[in-house]
Structure 1
Amino acid sequence: MPHFRNHRGVFGMRETRMAFAATGVFFVGATALNFNEVFASQLSPCQETSEKPDMKKQDDSEEPTQNTAEKMLSSSASSFQIQDFYDIEKILGEGTYGLVYQARRKVDGVLVALKTMPRRLTGKTDFEREVAALQLLSKPPGHAHIVQLYDLHRDDQNYYLAMELIEGGELLEHLIENGPYSEGLAASFLRQFAEALCFVHRNGLSHADLKPENLLLSSNDAKKAQLKVADFGCARSHDLNRQEMQLPMAEFAIGCSFLHMVALGNQFELEKMLQERPNLVNFRDYDFRTPLHLAASEGHVDICRFLVERGARVNRSDRWGGSPLDDAHRGRHSEVSTYLREQGATFGAKTQLPRFIQAASDGDKQEVEALLEFGNIDIDEGDYDRRTALHLSSGEGRKDIVELLCRSGANPNVEDRWQNRPLDDAKNAKKNSDRIMSILVKYGARSLKHPNLHQEIKIADRGKVEREPPSSTGIKNDRGRSEKADSFSGTIAYWPPELFGGGATPTPASDMWAAGVIMYVLLTGTHPFDKDAELSDEEIQERILSVGCDKENYVNLMNEFVFDERIEGLSESCVELMRTLLDPDPDRRLSSDKFLRHPWVQGLTASWTTMNKTHDELKAFWQNRFRMEILKKFADTIGTSSDQLAEADVLRIFEKLDTKKNGVLELEEIQDGLSDLGLSDKNIRSIFSSADLDGTGVIHFDEFQALFLNKNNSSGQGLHIDYLQQRFKSHIQKRFFGASKQKDLLDKNKLRDVFTAIDLDGDGVWDANDIRQFLRSSGEPEDVISRIVASLDRNRSGRVSWSDFCAIMG
């Protein structure tokens, strides 16, 4: 589903605050944030409410007062009562620190999820980190695929986070409950996930705890549901070489206001703003769009002329590689197109490489960065004379560009038509020659024409530019990171190899590894490093580390642990994407932007064939998890932790869990029974759903027993089909064989009589009506009958043949 973002609707921060103040909604994202201050253990400014809300419309000039984190955390809140602001309707669940309620905000009637966090239990750093991340990501207009934070309150006992209400539950649970699905359907959800990741990373954050439980759906209606990424309690900031992250947020807000004036065509305001800040003429927003892009798309030829005369670059690229001329052409603004062509403007899509090389030669670092990130550029491709961006920037003395290109993977020994290498160009540069040669040598440059040049440079630099040695693991060296990196509490099963090193902290690259694990779980029903859902966290960690440490053999190890028979049937594009996400080297791992643009994620190469096997294995995954947790919980009761239990052992466990003594297990009983094992309510619900084989909402003893006594429990098809087929067989035996011995069930002549008796229309095969009539006469309820019918029709032909029946009975 699309990310609804209007590039033309860019409002200044003051107008945004006033708009929300006028509605009486205390929206936390109304002020600019400074990333460094926010993540140096200071909570971002937010609306603190300690007085009863005025239900009357506020004056347009009134702005909500802002308080810093320190004031909020230390000042008195004795006068605040949450009931004055919200009508509490019901309990939704229990979070890490406290209850989560469904509530209705009195000021406007909006339904919210009200998260309570006791102050005595809430770690200040973790709390501030989550709130700061949510405030940043909820800043208008927010993002369609990220759970939004609406309000923040406190009283003497609790903090209250009023969050967007998510009604659809977990994505994984939705896919299990709605039957087999295709790669294409999974890709549609992962596309929304990728859009959210791009937004998070562009805002200078990494989520740091991505897992299936944190991917939620906005609605129970599958046609309307949008994916929402939740739980930013582990979020970390990171450095981006992006203009909007290098600018203080106050300046970035001014830049957005400048774009707003461009869209309105207000030349008078633009003139005033440029007098104070001339650099605004080439300002770029989150999508690298400049004022000239916006003026061209709106058809403001006078504004285009005004901007160009004040230094606007006519061939800047946005994140999609589009130039201002593309925008003018798309909007059919012929006068703007004619003017831009007169100024040397070109279409972006066809001329990215020449523009890339020219930008490198001109020293336009922002344009080079934009094209590297979004332009699908081959960094080592050259012009007619095979001269690359690195040749040109070296010869022009552009040391910053040279450093950027080398750091981005440019070959320092690429040769032009005359066998000149970048080091040769640098030697003849009119400026910064020594510095550029040092940079090139640091990245392994050599000269064919001056074979000893690189040694001379090393001696001259006295070792200052020696290239950093690769780590023994083949993973990016952690040198330069703080030895006292802050700890984080993500989920080990979704950590990449580099996070297990001392002092390592989460990055966008680690998020992408987690995205690869999530994708693998959705498409195979299993964890990539835990095929049978039976490994401990320590064993999973050992496997992940082994592929990270073995630089030479990691491909073979990944094929052994991950890319085995489980990926059979998946499209080639799908497997290739998972390989690039699960690359042990974070420098090679796919970025969120490239993840989003991948043809599989865009649905262009994803298969739409239903994946029955994956759906069954998702159920098997949770069934195995349930069995393991039960064995862990009741090991003392049964005297063993082995998978092989006697029926008497299973009965004793069932009776201990059945606290209501009604002969069935309800969700509440399973939650109580497993509450001390550290499982989340979300996981317990998934476990319960997988064990409820007949879909009646409770677990009967025969279902529970099947988890432990069925020999095919981890065969891949899961217990759901096996159990329903067994249930059908029991009806056959009762009706036609009574107390006969097992060998009578294998007598083909007797089975033929049974088959004929159920085949009501005598056409030699069973259709759904034949099976339904037999099961109705056996007393099965309609919802169970539908499941049994589906379990018998394994090839989805709509019929059960004689050979199919024999296979089921055998």
Structure 2
Amino acid sequence: MYRLKNLFSAMPHFRNHRGVFGMRETRMAFAATGVFFVGATALNFNEVFASQLSPCQETSEKPDMKKQDDSEEPTQNTAEKMLSSSASSFQIQDFYDIEKILGEGTYGLVYQARRKVDGVLVALKTMPRRLTGKTDFEREVAALQLLSKPPGHAHIVQLYDLHRDDQNYYLAMELIEGGELLEHLIENGPYSEGLAASFLRQFAEALCFVHRNGLSHADLKPENLLLSSNDAKKAQLKVADFGCARSHDLNRQEMQLPMAEFAIGCSFLHMVALGNQFELEKMLQERPNLVNFRDYDFRTPLHLAASEGHVDICRFLVERGARVNRSDRWGGSPLDDAHRGRHSEVSTYLREQGATFGAKTQLPRFIQAASDGDKQEVEALLEFGNIDIDEGDYDRRTALHLSSGEGRKDIVELLCRSGANPNVEDRWQNRPLDDAKNAKKNSDRIMSILVKYGARSLKHPNLHQEIKNADRGKVEREPPSSTGIKNDRGRFEKADSFSGTIAYWPPELFGGGATPTPASDMWAAGVIMYVLLTGTHPFDKDAELSDEEIQERILSVGCDKENYVNLMNEFVFDERIEGLSESCVELMRTLLDPDPDRRLSSDKFLRHPWVQGLTASWTTMNKTHDELKAFWQNRFRMEILKKFADMIGTSSDQLAEADVLRIFEKLDTMKNGVLELKEIQDGLSDLGLSDKNIRSIFSSADLDGTGVIHFDEFQALFLNKNNSSGQGLHIDYLQQRFKSHIQKRFFGASKQKDLLDKNKLRDVFTAIDLDGDGVWDANDIRQFLRSSGEPEDVISRIVASLDRNRSGRVSWSDFCAIMG
């Protein structure tokens, strides 16, 4: 059987990423020779691109090499044609080496495989034909085919190839190794708004691409936001699972170049990234215009060379006619790329050639640099940029406002000396002096600098709160239009025209016959943003509501036109948003607007200053990290109770100890006294949870981090007397474990009252205080726990749990509080 493979499977696949135009290193390129390989057949480079076949198309006969129309949108019909072709002679082993099982999907296994033609690692999704719903499957294939058309998108999981035999369909997809975004944030500790914004910016770029191509995802949720790598510094966000995608009659942005020309241009960029001047020279001899080729994000070879720091390639390109001041999609120039990468030699050369910073990027970069305290960047932009030093961002906050609030005294001095107005007012009529008053460091020093340059106090002290109140919804707004989501009996109906996840549906989708739109994707984006920033679902504060109860709350917001603002404040914008920046809360309000006509679009979402990182706070959100842990712990409790409700006769989380033991023994199929991951996976497999969700749930319940769940950990999740959660539950459990060792060693079978006897406790404290200095240090605690037989990793966690105030010591009063 003659098969034409994905055109970009054997060529460099480029990431259209803001600021950096990179390539996927694992792809093998044959562009230099003009030939690439399909199976065992070598095809002429120009002939293949003349065929203009879509990237994941499969054929059973030799394709017609006559030029075809590339502009036709892949639809459900084209997917159906693809799936109806002959499969009798196809053997998956002829094309892939299967390496290992990655997990189990909805219909079948997912393997890690290596494509024989070029060695690329892929995720090979097997879907039995007898189990696959034809309509849903065709919809997913059609959506992936459209979104994977070269050059695809850096933040959407790509479909490389589609195959089938007599039993199965096979989808060869981009291998994603970094896991879920939510899991990554939990495992890597507390994070800031700024870090969350950096991931949401990539999410927004993917949404824009999906919507511009006439689709809505229709099943956005945290589980479908994945990371490309386990390396936190290099990982890129990937949007996955388009099984519920819907098509819309929207104007799609088409490539301006024919596919062959565009692919050759990408090959030229590949050589720029490698610094291969010899191959660049050869390609320019045939196509001189490639020197100013622009990719999907309008980035040129000079942009890429500057971002990579290749000064010789920059010089080579400029000498052959490259324009030094072309703007990319973001308004950035090659000089912006060089400066961002701290490539001083490239920056100097480009300035000598007349290069300037991109007009649209200078002010945001200037304001951000002032906020970050990057003096070198501020000085460079003041000297070489076209900066209005008193111009502000979305909230009219200037570089002087932000640097004052962040305690950057050197930047404040530099800006004032350079002519910044010390009395410039932001949107709230605050002045830099007001920000300096609230700065966590250098407050007095900055205030004296500002006063020296003529700063005065706030002119309208009451206006700030008035505007703030209006933004928080205390001023009446125009209510949403009726969404028609009640039936003739006044009861709410659940949309049945598509599948999805109810907790992420907007109000308008609960009407009979309603279908997803880009606006419904934006509501889901708002829910996801809220979860990332607060650790809770906006309509389920304590993670205890059923889907039906969440649905009722969402519907009440959508139907109550007179009172929906108050309901949103009650359900969503409560004490959980305290500590978040005003810009962040304002963005969430516009995404979670019950009226789809007022809801923010994906383009505006991407351009929002918070998403762009201009107004996002970089203060670490310890509380949110704790809430995310609590989120999975509560999820674990709910799923266990749902599973065993019949056995224990209740779905309430108020269980007796005997019930907890019965559930534990039921799950412990290996009868070894602990629960392993496989036992939890088997026990919860029929609840529709993904493998990754179960792993997150398991991790949250493994309170001592040993890789298994002991009975006392399992019991702590259900019989938590302190009602603690998240990291607090970890600490309470570890302290209780320490307390049990104290009781066994020093009190034996004594009653509880003996543990409260201060005289006896003083003797215990003195016995463990090896150096007799009146406090315990880490060594004192370690020696005691080692004698109790605890492993070293658990000992380290217990030591950390006892030191609640991070002083490195445990005092007598601390010990009494733990034992009390």
**TM-score bucket of the superposed structures, by smaller chain:** 0.5 to 0.7
Contact 2:76-2:139 at 8 Å conserved across structures: no
Q: How far is the alpha carbon of 1:408 from its aligned partner?
A: 39
Q: How far is the alpha carbon of 1:798 from its aligned partner?
A: 3.5
Q: How far is the alpha carbon of 1:494 from its aligned partner?
A: 1.0
For 1:734-756, what per-residue CA distance to the aligned partner results, in whole angstroms no more than 9, with x for missing partners?
A: 22333332223233444344334
Q: How far is the alpha carbon of 1:595 from its aligned partner?
A: 3.1
Partner of 2:8: none
For 1:511-540, what per-residue CA distance to the aligned partner results, in whole angstroms no more than 9, with x for missing partners?
A: 222222122222222211112222111111
Distance, in Å, in 2 between the alignment partners of 1:458 and 1:756 is 56
1:313 aligns with 2:295: no
CA 1:415–1:800: 2 relative to 1, 3 Å: closer
For 1:150-202, what per-residue CA distance to the aligned partner results, in whole angstroms no more than 9, with x for missing partners?
A: 21111111110111212222222223333333334333333332333233333
**Secondary structure in structure 2 of the residue aligned to 1:26:** strand
CA 1:349–1:588: 2 relative to 1, 3 Å: farther
Contact 1:768-1:799 at 8 Å conserved across structures: yes
Q: How far is the alpha carbon of 1:609 from its aligned partner?
A: 4.0
**Secondary structure in structure 2 of the residue aligned to 1:727:** helix
CA 1:341–1:644: 2 relative to 1, 3 Å: closer
CA 1:491–1:41: 2 relative to 1, 3 Å: farther
Contact 1:119-1:157 at 8 Å conserved across structures: yes
Larger radius of gyration: 1
CA 1:698–1:259: 2 relative to 1, 3 Å: closer
TM alignment of 1:432-471, pairs within 5 A: 471=481
Which region of structure 1 is more displaced relative to structure 2, 124-133 or 781-790?
124-133
Distance, in Å, in 2 between the alignment partners of 1:363 and 1:744 is 57
Q: How far is the alpha carbon of 1:618 from its aligned partner?
A: 2.0
**Secondary structure in structure 1 of the residue aligned to 2:173:** strand
Contact 2:56-2:160 at 8 Å conserved across structures: no
**Secondary structure in structure 1 of the residue aligned to 2:642:** helix
CA 1:235–1:329: 2 relative to 1, 3 Å: same
Contact 1:8-1:294 at 8 Å conserved across structures: no
Q: How far is the alpha carbon of 1:376 from its aligned partner?
A: 18
For 1:42-98, what per-residue CA distance to the aligned partner results, in whole angstroms no more than 9, with x for missing partners?
A: 996734266999999999999999995444322321111101111112211111111
Which region of structure 1 is more displaced relative to structure 2, 126-135 or 463-472?
463-472
Distance, in Å, in 1 between the alignment partners of 2:402 and 2:758 is 82
Partner of 2:643: 633
**Secondary structure in structure 2 of the residue aligned to 1:27:** strand
CA 1:546–1:338: 2 relative to 1, 3 Å: same
Distance, in Å, in 1 between the alignment partners of 2:566 and 2:469 is 41
Contact 1:43-1:68 at 8 Å conserved across structures: no
Distance, in Å, in 1 between the alignment partners of 2:799 and 2:469 is 80
CA 1:355–1:423: 2 relative to 1, 3 Å: same
Q: 1:232 aligns with which of 242, 249, 271?
A: 242
Which region of structure 1 is more displaced relative to structure 2, 525-534 or 217-226?
217-226
Contact 1:439-1:465 at 8 Å conserved across structures: no
CA 1:480–1:65: 2 relative to 1, 3 Å: same
Distance, in Å, in 2 between the alignment partners of 1:36 and 1:437 is 67
Q: How far is the alpha carbon of 1:637 from its aligned partner?
A: 1.6
Q: How far is the alpha carbon of 1:283 from its aligned partner?
A: 13
Q: How far is the alpha carbon of 1:617 from its aligned partner?
A: 2.3
Q: How far is the alpha carbon of 1:320 from its aligned partner?
A: 3.8
Q: How far is the alpha carbon of 1:632 from its aligned partner?
A: 2.0
For 1:96-133, what per-residue CA distance to the aligned partner results, in whole angstroms no more than 9, with x for missing partners?
A: 11110111111222221110011222222222222222
For 1:456-483, what per-residue CA distance to the aligned partner results, in whole angstroms no more than 9, with x for missing partners?
A: 9999999999999973359999999999
1:140 aligns with 2:150: yes
Which region of structure 1 is more displaced relative to structure 2, 410-419 or 80-89?
410-419
Distance, in Å, in 2 between the alignment partners of 1:359 and 1:610 is 19
CA 1:148–1:271: 2 relative to 1, 3 Å: closer
Partner of 1:301: 311
Contact 1:11-1:256 at 8 Å conserved across structures: no
**Secondary structure in structure 2 of the residue aligned to 1:440:** helix
Distance, in Å, in 2 between the alignment partners of 1:476 and 1:3 is 49
Q: How far is the alpha carbon of 1:765 from its aligned partner?
A: 3.9
Distance, in Å, in 1 between the alignment partners of 2:524 and 2:282 is 47
**Secondary structure in structure 1 of the residue aligned to 2:24:** helix
CA 1:555–1:431: 2 relative to 1, 3 Å: closer
Contact 2:480-2:594 at 8 Å conserved across structures: no
Partner of 2:557: 547
Which region of structure 1 is more displaced relative to structure 2, 295-304 or 487-496?
295-304
**Secondary structure in structure 2 of the residue aligned to 1:528:** coil
Which region of structure 1 is more displaced relative to structure 2, 605-614 or 42-51?
42-51
For 1:486-524, what per-residue CA distance to the aligned partner results, in whole angstroms no more than 9, with x for missing partners?
A: 932121111122222333322332222222212222222
TM alignment of 1:416-495, pairs within 5 A: 471-472=481-482, 487-495=497-505
Which region of structure 1 is more displaced relative to structure 2, 463-472 or 729-738?
463-472
CA 1:457–1:805: 2 relative to 1, 3 Å: closer
Contact 1:393-1:399 at 8 Å conserved across structures: yes
CA 1:549–1:2: 2 relative to 1, 3 Å: farther
Distance, in Å, in 1 between the alignment partners of 2:312 and 2:787 is 82
Distance, in Å, in 2 between the alignment partners of 1:385 and 1:677 is 46
CA 1:461–1:36: 2 relative to 1, 3 Å: farther
Partner of 2:7: none
Distance, in Å, in 1 between the alignment partners of 2:513 and 2:449 is 28
Distance, in Å, in 2 between the alignment partners of 1:732 and 1:193 is 50
Contact 2:529-2:588 at 8 Å conserved across structures: yes
CA 1:145–1:372: 2 relative to 1, 3 Å: farther
CA 1:323–1:484: 2 relative to 1, 3 Å: farther
CA 1:518–1:712: 2 relative to 1, 3 Å: farther
CA 1:797–1:303: 2 relative to 1, 3 Å: closer
Q: How far is the alpha carbon of 1:15 from its aligned partner?
A: 20
CA 1:643–1:33: 2 relative to 1, 3 Å: farther
Q: How far is the alpha carbon of 1:437 from its aligned partner?
A: 55
Contact 1:33-1:136 at 8 Å conserved across structures: no
**Secondary structure in structure 2 of the residue aligned to 1:306:** helix
Q: How far is the alpha carbon of 1:428 from its aligned partner?
A: 55
Distance, in Å, in 2 between the alignment partners of 1:789 and 1:462 is 43
Distance, in Å, in 2 between the alignment partners of 1:353 and 1:801 is 52
CA 1:105–1:372: 2 relative to 1, 3 Å: farther
Contact 2:46-2:260 at 8 Å conserved across structures: no
CA 1:799–1:200: 2 relative to 1, 3 Å: farther
CA 1:104–1:657: 2 relative to 1, 3 Å: same
Distance, in Å, in 1 between the alignment partners of 2:616 and 2:399 is 35
Which region of structure 1 is more displaced relative to structure 2, 759-768 or 161-170?
759-768
Which region of structure 1 is more displaced relative to structure 2, 521-530 or 348-357?
348-357
Which region of structure 1 is more displaced relative to structure 2, 41-50 or 728-737?
41-50
Partner of 1:500: 510
The normalised TM-score by structure 1 is 0.68
Q: How far is the alpha carbon of 1:247 from its aligned partner?
A: 12
Instruction: Report the count of equivalent residues.
Output: 810
Contact 1:499-1:505 at 8 Å conserved across structures: yes
For 1:310-368, what per-residue CA distance to the aligned partner results, in whole angstroms no more than 9, with x for missing partners?
A: 99999999754679999999999999999999999999948999999999999999999
**Secondary structure in structure 2 of the residue aligned to 1:40:** helix
Which region of structure 1 is more displaced relative to structure 2, 21-30 or 694-703?
21-30
Partner of 2:584: 574
Partner of 1:331: 341
For 1:676-703, what per-residue CA distance to the aligned partner results, in whole angstroms no more than 9, with x for missing partners?
A: 2222222222221111111122111111
Q: How far is the alpha carbon of 1:270 from its aligned partner?
A: 20
Which region of structure 1 is more displaced relative to structure 2, 131-140 or 292-301?
292-301
Distance, in Å, in 1 between the alignment partners of 2:437 and 2:221 is 51
Distance, in Å, in 1 between the alignment partners of 2:475 and 2:45 is 31
Contact 1:22-1:57 at 8 Å conserved across structures: no
CA 1:641–1:229: 2 relative to 1, 3 Å: same
Partner of 2:665: 655
CA 1:226–1:290: 2 relative to 1, 3 Å: closer
Which region of structure 1 is more displaced relative to structure 2, 702-711 or 57-66?
57-66
Distance, in Å, in 2 between the alignment partners of 1:430 and 1:732 is 42
**Secondary structure in structure 2 of the residue aligned to 1:156:** coil
TM alignment of 1:583-662, pairs within 5 A: 583-662=593-672
Q: How far is the alpha carbon of 1:568 from its aligned partner?
A: 3.0
Q: How far is the alpha carbon of 1:551 from its aligned partner?
A: 3.0
Distance, in Å, in 2 between the alignment partners of 1:62 and 1:559 is 46
